[in-house]
Amino acid sequence: MVGNVSRAAIISDRRITGLSADVIAELVAELGPLWHERHQAGLASRQRKRAVGAGAKHRLVFVDRLLATLVHLRHGATYDVLACWFGVDRSTITRAVGEVRPLLAERGCTVSPDVRLRTLAEVVDHLGSGGRTGIVDGTEIRVRRPAAGRKDRDKFISGKSRQNAVKTMVLTDGDGRVLFCSPTKPGSCADITHARQSGLVKLLVDGPSVEILADAGYQGLGAQTGGRVVTPPHRKFKKNAPDWYEEMYERQRKAHSSRRIRVEHGIAHLKNWRALTRHLGRREHRVRGVACGGVRGWAGWGAGWGKRGREVVVKPDAWFYFWGWLCPGRPVVRGVGHPSWSGRGGGCGGGFGGAPGTCDAYAAGDFGRGW
């Protein structure tokens, strides 16, 4: 595992993980207990020859597992590189990323301290309850070419980019803050088909009145949803259009594009995460682990949105409250957490400013040897 100085350097520099120290602190505070609970449940779910807790302890504590996952998603660092960096075996990093990514994906997108959206239905209800406008668009992520002879090998080829890709549907609010990232589909799936299969049409028809802006790839959904999906105006004249029509058409098209462009800003921010630009792992991966875990709301992603907007997330895909040790001079939060996190010696001593004999909620360098 990395030392306390190295860990503090990783957390303090936003360029490494893509998230601020406060966001990482909130992620640890929320996901740490969930990871510990699942880990203990896995140990107790099978027959054992010795008691739970016997044997060697984890060298990679949960804080380091989370940091390794974020670095992998942000920069596409290989597991071998991360294993050398954190001083563990490659299989440990593989297992750590596989455990943390689902936790990030399940978090949903935080749009305010008391509102977290996890499903498409919750997003539609949120937009309808506040009279907000949503923007939908699809984005592609390049993937490895399937092996020769594989069934349906061509279904990953995108008709747009002519490359092997998977596609996800991104839904943002009017400011471009990401609210939802759908599970991925093969690159050959059309945007409008993806929207129908995800249940968006049914939710708009049966749910509250919501205005959803979309590009020309979704033309046809407006009629199916009673005008709730607004697409660019259809061009009625193919040739020799009157001057007055050309002027009107361009004015309407630009008015629509100027509102819809915010979703492109949100998607562009998602692409800051290397895992969402070129994915070298399994093609069946999900975007929600990034979009909901790291990028949150992933995205307050955008200028002038502040910290909460930038949490993703994911993201997606995120994300947080209390590490007094993160910054020198900040008070240490004591008395928070679970006795099993206290490590050896009855407390979370050591680490980034924790006092011996106290449980400084994840603030310890040796931060629960059982983790």
Is-above-0.75 flag for pTM? no
Say what the pLDDT of residue 291 is.
54
Q: Please give the helix or strand (H or E) that residue 211 lies within, else none.
A: strand 211-213
Q: Please give the helix or strand (H or E) that residue 232 lies within, else none.
A: none
The partner residues of 278 in beta bridges, in order of sequence, read: 142
The partner residues of 348 in beta bridges, in order of sequence, read: none
CB contact set of 204 (below 8 Å; sequence gap of 6+): 124, 210, 212, 225, 228, 229
Say what the pLDDT of residue 281 is.
65
CB contact set of 264 (below 8 Å; sequence gap of 6+): 137, 176
Distance in angstroms (rounded) separating the CA atoms of residues 272 and 176: 15
Look up residue 217 and give its DSSP letter.
G
Written as tens digits, the pLDDT of the chain (371 aa) is 677 788 888 888 888 988 888 889 989 998 999 998 988 888 888 888 888 777 777 788 899 999 999 999 999 888 999 999 888 999 999 999 999 998 988 888 888 778 888 889 999 999 998 889 999 999 998 888 888 887 878 888 888 888 888 899 999 998 888 999 888 888 888 999 999 999 999 999 988 889 999 998 898 898 888 889 999 988 777 778 888 888 888 899 899 999 999 999 999 888 888 888 877 666 555 555 555 555 543 333 333 333 333 333 333 333 222 222 233 333 333 333 333 333 333 333 333 333 333 233 333 333 333 34
Tell me the three state secondary structure of residue 289. Answer: helix
Distance in angstroms (rounded) separating the CA atoms of residues 102 and 194: 22
> CB neighbours (10 Å) of residue 256?
18
Domain ranges for the chain, please list them.
4-44+58-107+322-346, 110-229+261-310
Say what the pLDDT of residue 1 is.
62
Tell me the three state secondary structure of residue 98. Answer: helix
